[in-house]
A and B are shown apart, each in its own frame.
Chain A
Amino acid sequence: RKEVEQDPGPFNVPEGATVAFNCTYSNSASQSFFWYRQDCRKEPKLLMSVYSSGNEDGRFTAQLNRASQYISLLIRDSKLSDSATYLCVASQTGANNLFFGTGTRLTVIP
């Protein structure tokens, strides 16, 4: 079983829509969680860190459910510039390994 699993999508949504991605992790010892954004043929860039039950940054909200071992990312009022692949990542605190999901592809349509 993979450490982190994501729905690969693709998600095609109109501008202004709200879209949510879910991600599950298998290691209950995981304590640190992240969402990275990756544009085509570019490096991943940190979008949000999720340490407790969740956090919000503008149009982006990340939530963590430890009991069910899943993390979600909600994007409100989607912009064309939000089109990218979103990587879910889990890690044990202080550990060297990050475990990456395969990513969820989002395309925002005009």
Chain B
Amino acid sequence: DGGITQSPKYLFRKEGQNVTLSCEQNLNHDAMYWYRQDPGQGLRLIYYSQIVNDFQKGDIAEGYSVSREKKESFPLTVTSAQKNPTAFYLCASRNGGRHNEQFFGPGTRLTVL
């Protein structure tokens, strides 16, 4: 099955700990994205990557880091510097072309205890 997978589905973290969220896609998409969703707010862009070994900050990159060593994988690390990390994290990919449809993974719900 082609698609985007994220793991884990639920994650609990103690304050002060870094944690890495996985995102994998087998759609052969070049571009990948990380968003966070909070109650009552729209999705906000954290980081994106258009090609391997390249990535750009989105609107709320502070306290996060990413890597793009392989086309299929775009892991997100939530560092201890992120002040309000509890959120629903969504990974997406785009198939290129003129339009900009993005397709989402199932998400990881992170809770900081």
Contacts and interface: CB of A to CB of B under 8 A. Distances in A.
B106 interface: yes
B42 A95 contact: no
A4 interface: yes
A95 B42 CA distance: 18
Interface residues of B, number: 25
Contact of B100 (A42, A93, A101, A103): A93
A41 B48 CA distance: 23
B42 A94 contact: no
Contacts of A97: 45, 58-59
Given A87-B42, A101-B42, A93 B107 contact: no
B83 interface: no
A93 B99 contact: yes
B26 interface: no
Contacts of A2: 42
Given A4-B42, A102-B41, A103-B42, A43 B100 contact: no
Interface of B: 31, 33, 40-43, 45, 48, 50, 56, 58-59, 88, 90, 98-107, 109
Interface of A: 2, 4, 8, 32, 34, 41-46, 49, 51, 87, 91, 93-103
